[in-house]
Amino acid sequence: MSSQSIHIAKRRRSEASAGETRCPACGQGHVERVIVSRTYKVEGKRFRVDGLMPDRCNSCGELTWSEAELRRADEALAIKLRDAAA
């Protein structure tokens, strides 16, 4: 592989890494991990789930949720619903 090819490959990896932190909503800001609470309303009752960790854009404030974090929120809500029904 030529030195030019290596440089291009490194630049593409670098651009891909930088693209991962760009906000998917506005495309301007960078996202960073934050800790938040969410309140869910189920059958007229409110349930608060604390300690969720989405990414937030430092420019527009948009929250981006990973599949794993959404699953964690669902599991925490299910536990609260189960406890409320007992």
Count the domains in the chain. Answer: 1
Here the contacts of 78-84 (C-beta below 8 Å, separation 24 or greater) are 80/47, 80/49, 81/42, 81/47, 84/45, 84/47
- pLDDT tens readout for residues 5-27: 444 444 444 444 445 689 999 99
Residue 30 belongs to domain with CATH number:
3.10.20.860
Both tokens of 50, joined, read 């604390």
- 3-state DSSP call for residue 41? strand
- pLDDT tens readout for residues 27-85: 999 999 999 999 999 999 999 999 999 999 999 999 999 999 999 999 999 999 999 98
Neighbours of 37 (CB within 10 A): 9
